[in-house]
Structure 1
Amino acid sequence: MSGELVAVLAVIIIALAFDYTNGFHDAANAIATSISTRALTPRVALLMAAVGNFVGAHFGADVAKTVGSGLVALPTGRDSLGIVFAGVLGAILWNLITWYFGLPSSSSHALIGGLVGATLAAAGTVLWRGIVEDVILPMILSPMVGFVLGFLFMLAVLWIFRHGHPARLNRGFRIAQTFSAAAMSIGHGMQDAAKTIGIVVLALYVGGYQDSAEHIPEWTFWASATVLALGTYAGGWRIIRTLGRKIVDLRPPEGFAAESVASAVLYFNALVLGAPISTTHTITSAIMGVGATKRLSAVRWEVAGTIVGGWILTFPAAGLMASLVYLMVRPLF
C-alpha cells in the first residue's frame, strides 16, 4: 500500500470520526426542544434525528463544495493531507471539550477553524474572501436572523391562536413538533454531513485520487450520512439539557416555532446560498427569539452569554489546536 493511499485513508477516517462527534455533539440541535416540551420521547427523538440527518446529507452538495474548494487552496501531495488531518483533529478536540462542559458550540466553525489554523501553521493559502463571505458573515447574520424570525414567528402564533384552549393547543403543537423536528433534522444533515463530505473530497483531491475538489463521489454521501446518523443516535445529553432547559422554559408552541424558523434558515443557506452555517447558532438564537416574546427576562441571558462566548471562541480555539496538532503530525506526512 502506497504512502499516499495510507495518508488519504487516515484523513478519511479522521473525517468520519469528526462526523461521529458532530452527531452526538449536535444531536441537541434537532431534538432538544421536542424533548423538553415532551413532544417526543428521547429515544424516538434521537432516532428521528438520525434518519433526518441521513436523508438531509444527500441534499448538501453545495455546502460540501464550499468546504472542499472554497476555503483553502492546497496543492496535491502528502504535505497537504497532513494539513487536512491536523485541521480535522483540532476540530474533534474542541468538540470534545465543549461537549464535556455541555456548551452548544458550533461543530461547523470548529471544523473550518481547524482547517484554517492548520493551513496557516503550514504557511498555506487561506482563501480569505471565501472565509469572510461563506463563514464569517453567515456566522454573524444567521443568529441575528434566527432571533428576529423566531420572535416574529412566535408573535404570529400567539396572535393566530389567541383564543385557543391552552391544553388543546399544547396537544396540537406537540403533534406539529414531530414535523418541525423532522425538518430540523434534515436541515442539520444538509449542513453538517455535507461538511464532512467536503473534507473527504478535499482529501481525495490533494491525495491525487481525483482531478477536482468539487466532484463528489456518491459513496461519500452514504458514508458521511451513516456515520453522522450513528453519532446522533448515540446522543448528546449534556448539550440537550443546555438547549432544552437552561436557556428558556419551552412549551410546545414555542418549540414548534423555534424548530420551524431554524429549519427554514438552514434550508435557505444550504439550498440557495450553499453557505456552511452553524445549526447550533441557528436553533439557539431561534430559541432565544421565541422565548423573548414572553418577556426579555424569560431568557436566561447569563446562560445565553456563555453560549455566545463559546461561539466567538470556537473558530480561533479550534484553529490554535489544529496548528499545534499539525506541528506534531507533520513528520508523519
Structure 2
Amino acid sequence: MDTVVILTLLIVVFALAFDFINGFHDTANAIATSVSTRALKPRTAIYMAAVMNFIGALTFTGVAKTISKDIVDPFVLENGSLVILAALISAIIWNLVTWYYGIPSSSSHALIGSIAGAAISAAGFAVLNYSGFIKILEALILSPFIAIAAGFLMMSLFKVVLKNRNLFKANKRIRYLQIGTAALQSFTHGTNDAQKAMGIITMALIASNMQTGEDIQFWVRIAAATAMGLGTSIGGYKIIKTVGGKIMKIRPVNGAAADLSSAMIIFGATLIHLPVSTTHVISSAIMGVGSAQRVKGVKWGVAKKIVITWIITMPISATIAAIIYQLLNLFSK
C-alpha cells in the first residue's frame, strides 16, 4: 500500500482516538457540577452527556474548517501527513498525562499547540498562518476571562431572583434545572470540541491530495461524533472530582449558574467558528460564580494550579510535537 495512504489511515485512527480521549477527558467538565450537587447520578450524567455530545458534534462544522486551514495551510504544507500525525500523538500524550493526574487541562490548547509545533519543526515559523493562528489564540486567551465575568453576572442575577426565596426549597428545584443545563453544556461541548478532530482529518485528506476543498465530508462528521460519544460514555471521574468540588463547594444554584454562563460562551464561539477550551471556560465560569457568592469560598490554590496547567499546555505540547515530528521524519526516510 502507498505510504501516503498508510499515513492518512494512521491519522484518521489517531484523530478518532484523540476525539475518544477528549470525550472522557472533557466529559467531566460538562457534567461535574450536576454530579457534585447530586442532581444526576454519575452514570446517568455520563450517558446523557454522550448522547448530547454526539448530537452537538453532528450539528456544526465551522470550527472544523477553522482548524483545518487557519493554523497552517494544508495546501502548501510539505510532509503534511507527518506533521499532522506528530501533532495528534503529542496531543494524545498530553491529554492522557493530565487525565491520569486529574488535572482539567485543555485538549484544544494541546492540539493547537501540537499542530503549530510540528509544523514549525517541519518548515520553520514562516509556515504558520499568523492571521488565523492569532485569531485562535485570542479566542483561547479571552474566553476564560469572559467566562469569569459571565459566571459572576449570572450568579449575581440568580441571587437577586432568589433573594426572598427559601434557599433549601430553591436549591431542591434548581436540581431539576441542572439536568437541563448539564444537557445543554454537553451539547455545546460537542458543537465545539468534536469539530477539532474533524478539522484534523480534513487537513490530512487535503495534504494527501484525497480532497481538494475544505468542506467536512459526512463520514468524517459521523466518525468524529461517534468517537466523541463513545469516549464520553466512559467518563472521567478524576476530573469530575477536581472541577466539581475542589475549586469551590458547589450548590445547585451555583452549578446552574456556571453551566448556563459557560454554555452560552462555548456556543457563541461555535457560531463564529472559533475553537475555545471547554475546560477553561467551564472552570473559569465556576470561579466567577464562586466570586459572586463569596470570594473566600473559592479555593484559589487549586485554581492557581489549573491556570498554570493552562499556561504550560501549549508550549509543552508544541515541543513534544516538534520532537515527535523529527523522530517520525528520521524513521520515514
Same fold (TM over 0.5): yes
Return the letter of the residue paired with 1:261.
S
- Tell me, in whole angstroms, the C-alpha distance in 2 between the residues paired with 1:59 and 1:119: 30
Residue aligning to 2:181: 180
Residue aligning to 1:109: 109
How far the C-alpha of 1:75 sits from its partner, in A, is 4.2
Return the letter of the residue paired with 2:313.
T
Residue aligning to 2:202: 201
How far the C-alpha of 1:78 sits from its partner, in A, is 7.8
- Tell me, in whole angstroms, the C-alpha distance in 2 between the residues paired with 1:60 and 1:195: 11
Return the letter of the residue paired with 1:285.
S
Q: Cα deviation per residue 1:51-88 (whole Å; 9 max; x = unaligned)?
A: 11101112331100000011112346882100000011
How far the C-alpha of 1:318 sits from its partner, in A, is 0.6
- Secondary structure (helix, strand or coil) at the match of 1:102 reads coil
Residue aligning to 1:93: 93
- Tell me, in whole angstroms, the C-alpha distance in 2 between the residues paired with 1:145 and 1:173: 24
Query: Any gaps of 5 or more consecutive residues in structure 2?
Result: none
Residue aligning to 1:137: 138
Contact persistence 1:23–1:228 (CA under 8 A): yes
How far the C-alpha of 1:97 sits from its partner, in A, is 1.1
- Tell me, in whole angstroms, the C-alpha distance in 1 between the residues paired with 2:264 and 2:198: 22
Q: Cα deviation per residue 1:170-203 (whole Å; 9 max; x = unaligned)?
A: 1211100111111100110011100100001111
How far the C-alpha of 1:168 sits from its partner, in A, is 1.6
- Secondary structure (helix, strand or coil) at the match of 2:249 reads coil
Name segments (4+ residues, structure 1) moved above 2 Å: 74-78
Residue aligning to 2:238: 238
Contact persistence 1:120–1:126 (CA under 8 A): yes
- Secondary structure (helix, strand or coil) at the match of 1:178 reads helix
Contact persistence 1:76–1:208 (CA under 8 A): no
Residue aligning to 1:281: 280
Return the letter of the residue paired with 2:191.
M
Contact persistence 1:15–1:196 (CA under 8 A): yes
Contact persistence 1:54–1:228 (CA under 8 A): yes
Contact persistence 2:74–2:206 (CA under 8 A): no
Is 1:164 aligned to 2:165, yes or no? yes
Return the letter of the residue paired with 2:326.
L
Matches within 5 A, 1:44-59: 44-59=44-59
Matches within 5 A, 1:1-333: 1-75=1-75, 79-123=79-123, 125-134=127-136, 136-212=137-213, 214-271=214-271, 273-330=272-329, 331-332=331-332
Range moving further from structure 2, 71-80 or 103-112:
71-80
Contact persistence 2:11–2:204 (CA under 8 A): yes
How far the C-alpha of 1:257 sits from its partner, in A, is 0.4
- Tell me, in whole angstroms, the C-alpha distance in 2 between the residues paired with 1:317 and 1:222: 31
The alignment covers a number of residue pairs equal to 330
Return the letter of the residue paired with 2:288.
G
Contact persistence 1:33–1:243 (CA under 8 A): yes
Contact persistence 1:76–1:205 (CA under 8 A): no
- Tell me, in whole angstroms, the C-alpha distance in 2 between the residues paired with 1:108 and 1:89: 14
Contact persistence 1:108–1:192 (CA under 8 A): yes
- Tell me, in whole angstroms, the C-alpha distance in 1 between the residues paired with 2:261 and 2:78: 43
- Secondary structure (helix, strand or coil) at the match of 1:244 reads helix
Normalised to the residue count of structure 1, the TM-score between the two structures is 0.97
How far the C-alpha of 1:237 sits from its partner, in A, is 1.1
Normalised to the residue count of structure 2, the TM-score between the two structures is 0.97
How far the C-alpha of 1:130 sits from its partner, in A, is 1.0
Q: Give the % identical residues.
A: 42
Q: CA RMSD of the aligned region, Å? A: 1.3
- Tell me, in whole angstroms, the C-alpha distance in 2 between the residues paired with 1:141 and 1:159: 27
How far the C-alpha of 1:2 sits from its partner, in A, is 2.0
